[in-house]
Structure 1
Amino acid sequence: MKQFKTLTDALTDLRERGYVYDFNLAENCLACKELNLMLHPEQFAIKEFYRFEGMTDPADNAILYGIESNAGVKGVLVNAYGFYADTISSDMVNKLRTVPNE
């Protein structure tokens, strides 16, 4: 897995490699407003992820996920550490904890 100094650097790299859509967390799925697409846990794979820790503020902690749907749609999800634990289904929590597919 690559190493990046900043979240912006990682996002730029992923975009250049085809991860062009933005996904957001919903309770039971990932949503892409641009495509009007909702992906449930069994409909996508986490291809790679990167953790970023804020130097002075724990609120700056984030994980960047490279996501690919079963149909080949590629995009990114940026999520604060632990933020999703109380707001999404246990299936989504478990999916986001998985290791990317090789």
Structure 2
Amino acid sequence: MSTVYHYATVLKAIQELREKGFNEDFNLEDNYLASNSGRWSDEEFEIAHIYFYEGATNPDDEATVYGIESASGHKGILVTGNDALTDAESGAIIKKLLKHRNDK
């Protein structure tokens, strides 16, 4: 079960997650969640925290910060922009991220 928070800046959300031990930097790569430590499919991680950043003057400034835990114990952060989850890479990873974001 993920927890949703709203902060004024992406930096504040990242700082909060770092304090909770989310130290990996995750990226989306070929329908995998990837970091320097490896790659994970949609079934190999859970979303523990979601932080929303809402641009005050420009909707394009909106971002979502995910605190993610892999099944192998890696904890990290994925930051997506407003349009990042509609790219051609859409697949199981994107569907999982959108489901968690939209459920909140």
Q: Matches of 2:76 and 2:53 in 1, distance apart? A: 18
Superposed structure 1 runs of 4+ greater than 4 Å apart? none
Q: Matches of 1:24 and 1:64 in 2, distance apart? A: 12
For 1:10, the equivalent position in structure 2 comes to 13
Q: How does 1:12-31 map to 2 (within 5 A)?
A: 12-31=15-34
Amino acid at match of 1:50: Y
Moved more, 23-32 or 83-92: 83-92
Q: How does 1:8-87 map to 2 (within 5 A)?
A: 8-32=11-35, 34-35=36-37, 37-87=38-88
Provide the secondary structure at the position in 1 that maps to 2:100. coil
Determine if contact 2:25/2:77 at 8 Å carries over to the other structure: yes
> Could you list the runs of 5+ residues in structure 1 that have no partner in the other structure?
none
Moved more, 46-55 or 69-78: 46-55
Provide the secondary structure at the position in 2 that maps to 1:49. strand
Q: CA RMSD of the aligned region, Å?
A: 1.7
> Could you list the runs of 5+ residues in structure 2 that have no partner in the other structure?
none
Aligned residues: 98
* TM-score, normalised with respect to structure 1: 0.85
For 2:99, the equivalent position in structure 1 comes to 98
* TM-score, normalised with respect to structure 2: 0.83
Q: Higher strand fraction: Structure 1 or Structure 2?
A: 2
Determine if contact 2:23/2:75 at 8 Å carries over to the other structure: yes
Q: Matched residues, percent identical?
A: 38
Q: Matches of 2:100 and 2:62 in 1, distance apart? A: 19
